[in-house]
Amino acid sequence: METKQYIASGILELYVYGLLSEPETIEVAEMAQNNIEINDEIIAIEKAIVALSSSFSPFHSVANYEKIKAKLELKQVPVIALDAKTNYVQYIGWAAAVLLLLGIGFQYNQLEQTTNQVVTITTQKQKVVNDLRDLKLQNNANQTSLAVVRDAKNTVVSLGGQAVSPASFAKIYWNQESKTVYVDAAGLPEPPKGMVYQIWALKLNPLTPTSIGLLSHFEGNNTKIFAVDAATDAQAFGITLEPAGGSVTPTMEQLYALGKV
């Protein structure tokens, strides 16, 4: 239909008045969207009828405006009693939720603590087990040392402290049968870093030192009983302090202990 004709039909006035059926109304609304001329016409009709009706409006009090706002709770008005109730219930709800949350938090904390305790106790238990194992090892070592020392076939050689360290002493347990040599070095000071004690089997005439081993891991050995190489025939034993790895001949200035068989 021609736009002008459509407008002239008067349908747009009825559209603004709200007198068209729903399908007709939707149809006009669609046309207005797509046709600026129709849309402008509708707006003009509306302006005219709003102006006409407004100018015939009887006086109504300003109170209406405030009353409506109060009904809509658009302003602070004393109409919120009902609302306050709902708020009260809401607050209880929130409070309950907060309490529940706190409760869960507390329980979680408890669980965490208990878990930590279990972990701690497990660690302690492991430590005790380790200690026990260490003690057993220690005990074994002690048994071995004792067995070495007690062996009836031993020749015990006491080594006295020498000029560099008069307070030092040591003992050599020399098994005459197996020729094995054990050194009890409990009477020697800990060697400085990078130094090591070296054990010498000595023949006296002429003085011939033969290295029978180093007391390595001195610190780590709790019993300070060391097994060294066998000595076939020796007239004396000596202990010197040597650079790590040992020396070919003893450094006599660093002779810590010496004793004749």
Partner 1 sequence: MTQDELLVLLYKKDERAFTHLYDMYSKSLFSVIAVLVKNREEAEDVLQEVFVKIWKNFDSYHESKGRFYTWILNIARNTAIDKLRSKNFNNSQKNQPSDNFVHLLDDSNKLVNKIDTIGIQEFVKKLKPKCIQIIDLLFFKGYTQQEASEELEIPLGTVKTHNRNCINDLRNYLKV
Name the DSSP class of 98: H
Q: Contact residues for partner 1 (CB under 8 A)? A: 8-11, 13-19, 22, 25-26, 28-30, 42-61, 64-65, 67-69, 71-72, 74
- Beta pairing class for 236-243 and 208-214: unpaired
**Shortest distance in whole angstroms from residue 80 CB to partner 1:** 16
The continuous run of DSSP H or E covering 74 comes out as none
**Shortest distance in whole angstroms from residue 114 CB to partner 1:** 51
Closer residue to partner 1 (CB): 46 or 151: 46
**Shortest distance in whole angstroms from residue 51 CB to partner 1:** 6
Residue position matching structure tokens 């000596």: 238
Instruction: Bin 195: left if φ > 0, else alpha if -120 < ψ < 50, else beta.
Output: beta
Q: Which burial class, exposed, middle or buried, applies to 225 when counting CB atoms under 10 A from its CB (0-12, 13-18, 19+)?
A: buried
Residue in 135, 146, 250, 163 with CA at minimum distance from that of residue 199 = 250
Closer residue to partner 1 (CB): 68 or 100: 68
Closer residue to partner 1 (CB): 6 or 218: 6
Tokens of 227: 């097994």
**Shortest distance in whole angstroms from residue 35 CB to partner 1:** 15
**Shortest distance in whole angstroms from residue 62 CB to partner 1:** 10
* End-to-end Cα spacing for the chain: 139
Closer residue to partner 1 (CB): 8 or 100: 8
Closer residue to partner 1 (CB): 40 or 229: 40
